[in-house]
Structure 1
């Protein structure tokens, strides 16, 4: 499973990004470059879904190269062979996982839900228990939630029905793994490692199955909140897609400050503020890039990217030496939305 995921990423990056980019993507590193790459190369669903250390990633890349699925084009940069392309035909990524969309709330939702189920099970059976999550914010949320819903047995039945309906719509294996992770009054929920050992599967496969069920629940409660009111009530309010630092820069831009003024006000490097502007252009459709990128330059950058069939900054810069890397990144951020 892990080999297929790394192979899939290498294929999507088309020899234009190094293993470090895959490392940052799978570990969910919120840098401007990783956020842009996840969109540019259509790999945002994998964002933060498979925590992996660099040594293991290098080992997987070595195995893929030994098997003839990839070949090295530069230091830590690979592309996929024809055999690798054939191998990818057998790879099916779990359909409901969307790491980018749910990166800010999946973990929080799971902690609230799992602690709530543990609490209700023990209240109903009148047993004492140690909370599975020590975070006081999670505990306070669950206490408030229970206080607002007085009739615990009736609420527990309704919550069970909501979960049963949703879990019955995913693969049985994914549903079982999700349930095995839950803690009741009788048993402590299993870890991914324990489930992997019991099923004799890779821990990565168990992690993805769990995330697939979790993200499906989030997707359906978002689409049909009236049908799943209890589960929906456990969700966090929508957060902005921008990183917190980019949000501060965006606020100043909307107030009319220039790039140079923002550099001075925030005490950050110019390159950092430029990173923020590219991030804003990527995720805020209404953001106007004209103050930072002349229309004539934008068109030439996109035309050159199309001609070279690449989003590799250096390749475009070598041809268009009068444009900056910042301008190239800004143009590519809006490639799919703006006409040439």
Structure 2
């Protein structure tokens, strides 16, 4: 039910203005102009790219279940939350995700941590040969470099690392299920981490529920790790946060804007349609609210779009344009994207 409630929260935020596939594209982290702008329009940054491996089949099963329970409904291709669905999420605690800044990289941190714990536990037991639980060579290389910089074979270091882990798990934002999943997923000397199937069975839950609560656990922990408080764990979290959230193509467009080229010049230089460059501008503004937009729209026009959107309680471009016919769709999209800062 955890994942279903998470879907209800996202569907509620979409406010009946997107199709039933919009939450799926959001959770997958689809890098389309529509999904990127929706992140800003509907304040969905925490949920972006939470689970890139989510299959359409898994998602459709959960949506069908929500429909059968009368928690959501679909009208003219748009998905809505029902009053009954609202009742399900009113008592929910706030979700503590940071999908926009992590984009699934929390799993890299976890793999590094898991292999480090497995290695330390074997060396503490005087067992220097073991089969690594993690198979990725990049993880092996990172952990090897991490350990070689430390006196990792000493019992003192093993205790020091364990104390950092124990302190990390005292985070008051963690629920008991978070701590359980974290500990049970770890592998050590003569101990293998439980599989998702085993965890789901033990917790009388679903695999998706387990995975999403585990992701939330990692996001909470990563937000607490500092170099001063957790020096070793901080090193394991190196380069986990996404510093440039733009797609490669939008990044190239951004660099050309910084050199002073106009939107038309960039479209010609890159042999791309003007609409594509406009999509890039929306993506850039979503990532960087300091990006100068007033060569495309005046502050008065921007405020007018926001006022119309607020008055009509909609972010549907067609409806807004019917009330601001002098503005282009691009200008309206730009105003709605920039609007997060204006009202934030």
- TM surpasses 0.5: yes
1:97-136 map, 5 Å: 97-103=97-103, 105-124=105-124, 125-136=126-137
**2:93 aligned with 1:69, yes or no?**
no
Deviations 1:16-74, CA, capped at 9 Å, x for gaps: 01112111112222323222222322232222335543344344333333333233221
Q: What is the rounded CA distance, in whole Å, between the counterparts of 1:278 and 1:61 in structure 2? A: 29
Residue number in structure 2 paired with 1:329: 333
Question: Which of 284, 306, 324 is equivalent to 2:288?
Answer: 284
1:337 is paired with a residue whose SS is helix
Residue number in structure 2 paired with 1:187: 191
TM-score (norm 2): 0.89
Query: Contact conserved, 2:50 with 2:104, CA < 8 A, in 1?
Result: no
1:177-326 map, 5 Å: 177-221=181-225, 224-237=226-239, 238=241, 239-326=243-330
Residue 273 of structure 1 and its aligned partner are, at CA, apart by: 1.6
Residue number in structure 1 paired with 2:177: 173
Query: Contact conserved, 1:105 with 1:236, CA < 8 A, in 2?
Result: no
Residue 200 of structure 1 and its aligned partner are, at CA, apart by: 1.9
2:79 is paired with a residue whose SS is strand
Q: What is the rounded CA distance, in whole Å, between the counterparts of 2:115 and 2:27 in structure 1? A: 27
Q: What is the rounded CA distance, in whole Å, between the counterparts of 1:32 and 1:230 in structure 2? A: 38
Deviations 1:114-146, CA, capped at 9 Å, x for gaps: 122222222333231222333222211111111
2:107 is paired with a residue whose SS is helix
Stretch deviating more after TM superposition (152-161 or 175-184):
152-161
Q: What is the rounded CA distance, in whole Å, between the counterparts of 1:29 and 1:152 in structure 2? A: 43
1:285 is paired with a residue whose SS is coil
Consecutive unaligned residues of structure 1, counting only runs of 5 or more, are none
Q: What is the rounded CA distance, in whole Å, between the counterparts of 2:229 and 2:7 in structure 1? A: 38
Q: What is the rounded CA distance, in whole Å, between the counterparts of 1:300 and 1:116 in structure 2? A: 55
Query: Contact conserved, 1:105 with 1:235, CA < 8 A, in 2?
Result: no
Query: Contact conserved, 1:115 with 1:142, CA < 8 A, in 2?
Result: yes
Stretch deviating more after TM superposition (37-46 or 18-27):
37-46
Q: What is the rounded CA distance, in whole Å, between the counterparts of 1:282 and 1:63 in structure 2? A: 33
Deviations 1:271-304, CA, capped at 9 Å, x for gaps: 2221111111122122110122233432332222
1:335 is paired with a residue whose SS is helix
Q: What is the rounded CA distance, in whole Å, between the counterparts of 1:300 and 1:168 in structure 2? A: 48
| Equivalenced residues, count | 335
1:219–1:122 CA distance, 2 compared to 1 (3 A): same
Residue 187 of structure 1 and its aligned partner are, at CA, apart by: 2.0
Residue number in structure 2 paired with 1:155: 157
2:157 is paired with a residue whose SS is helix
Q: What is the rounded CA distance, in whole Å, between the counterparts of 1:3 and 1:107 in structure 2? A: 22
TM-score (norm 1): 0.90
Consecutive unaligned residues of structure 2, counting only runs of 5 or more, are none
Deviations 1:150-177, CA, capped at 9 Å, x for gaps: 3433322211111101113322331121
Stretch deviating more after TM superposition (58-67 or 29-38):
58-67
1:152 is paired with a residue whose SS is coil
Deviations 1:207-244, CA, capped at 9 Å, x for gaps: 133123211220111xx420111100112234223233
1:130–1:32 CA distance, 2 compared to 1 (3 A): farther
What is the root-mean-square deviation in Å for CA atoms of aligned residues? 2.1
1:322 is paired with a residue whose SS is coil
Residue 104 of structure 1 and its aligned partner are, at CA, apart by: 5.4
Query: Contact conserved, 2:49 with 2:104, CA < 8 A, in 1?
Result: no
